[in-house]
Amino acid sequence: MTIRPSRLYRLTLAALLGAAALLLPYGAAARLERLGFAGGPDGSAFQLVSNGIAVLISRAIVSVEVHDQASAGSLENLRRIESGAADFGVVYASDAFLGRHAKLMRDTTRYGKVMTVARLYGIPAHLVVRADSGIDDVARLAGKKIAVGLPGSGAAVAAQRYFEGLALWHKMQPQFVDTTRGMAALAAGRIDAAWVLAPAPHAAIVNTASSTRLRLLPLYQASLRGTLPTTHPYYSAATIPAGTYPGIEHAVQTVEDAALWAAGSHVDEGIVRAALERVYSGEGLDTMRTLAYATATMSPDNALQGVVTPLHAGARGYWTARGVSLPPLPLN
């Protein structure tokens, strides 16, 4: 069959364009895709991190534009990703695990579409007492007043999980106040201990330690005496380094939750992989480490530390290619 020149020209041009597309960065030849990244309240670590990653992805993948979404926090992000209202989000490891197993408090929904991309940073538990209190072990808190955070907050829920695992929750007197008020009450001697779940150093503890001698109780070894490791496997061991707080000159082993970068299972594998390549590049990590003190130690070495929920397929591909050992997890 004879091909007319005009048709031959069109076929040649199409072939050349197709070949050129293969040489472009991921997504360069595709239509613009708008994605949402659910973060947290304005000024929070969640919001700073989500905005930073959104900007890095948008600059790295020319066909993708990622918009940071304000949010109430982890649980809202989990629900948005599951429903498709958000594509990425920052989610507590505890919420991701319990949501996947339909065990969230007052919520029996199974959040099976929320997949882990990476661990961003740890959120250690602090159990603070006055140095002159005579309290040197968690077991001595029976009958004591302990500030645990506002009702329903992540800190208060974590405190209940921890102390229930040691059969102590119903033997103590939880005080549902925020961290600032809790530390002030501890300094004044109105309560016996304060539970704080937050990246270290925490400003309220630093401020109190500047005028009151404090002690941090070791939580990890104590947790092994109870059921926490088996009932809540997303809590992992962590160390609060010596000198983190004024007057506390020794390292303290504790337990921590983690902030995860999560993605919906509907998000394209190539987009997730390209996003990871950008964020975990040298320049990307430099950017992330300056966003908040919580991300100062962000690294490929701890990106899957303590992860107990399934990885997104794009994340599996990226971390495998990078030589990072994958945790033994189900695929979905």
Backbone angles phi, psi at 67, to 5 degrees: -105, 130
List every span in the chain annotated with CATH 3.40.190.10.
Answer: 31-122+259-321, 123-257
What tens digit of pLDDT does each residue of 156-197 get? Answer: 989 999 999 999 999 999 999 999 999 999 999 999 999 999
What tens digit of pLDDT does each residue of 2-46 get? Answer: 444 444 434 433 443 344 343 345 544 456 899 999 999 888 899
- SS3 assignment for 222-283: HHCCCCHHHHCCCCEEEEECCCCECCECCCEEEEEEEEEEEEECCCCHHHHHHHHHHHCCHH
Average pLDDT over residues 124-148: 97
Among 9, 57, 63, smallest CA distance to 37 is for 57
Question: Which class in CATH covers the domain with range 31-122+259-321?
Answer: alpha beta
What tens digit of pLDDT does each residue of 192-248 get? Answer: 999 999 999 999 999 999 999 999 999 999 999 999 999 999 999 999 999 999 999
Residue 50, sorted as left (phi over 0), alpha (psi -120 to 50) or beta, turns out to be: alpha
pLDDT of res. 153: 84
Q: What does each C-alpha distance from 154 to 33, 43, 116, 326 come to in angstroms? A: 33, 18, 19, 28
**123-257 is a CATH 3.40.190.10 domain:** yes
Burial 291-315 (b: 16+ CB within 10 A, else e): bbebbeebeeeebbebbbbbbbbbb
Confidence (pTM): 0.84
pLDDT of res. 328: 87
CA distance 238 to 4: 72
